[in-house]
Amino acid sequence: MNEKILDLIKYVVETFAEKKDQINYEVEEKENVIEVTVLLDESDMGKVIGKQGKIAKALRTLVASSTPRSSKRYTVEIKENVQ
């Protein structure tokens, strides 16, 4: 797994989130996909996703464009952290 991609995801998410201490990242590696699930506090969901999902879409575009062609594909899911 490419640590730089995960660092990029963390940087973008933590730029918009207010409760940085309550963010959890789950990484699951499958056959040809690496799924990154970002678990946020309910109050940070709208800030990180953005209006009409623009920030989330931009994050996914950044991740896709910075992933080397020879490596596995990354997917980014943003979910509410249920405690």
Q: What is the pTM of this model?
A: 0.90
pLDDT tens string, the chain, 83 residues long: the values are 678 999 999 999 999 999 999 999 999 999 999 999 999 999 999 999 999 999 999 999 999 999 888 889 999 999 998 86
CA nearest 17: which of 81, 73, 63? Answer: 81
Q: What angle do CA 23, 8, 54 make, to 5 degrees?
A: 80
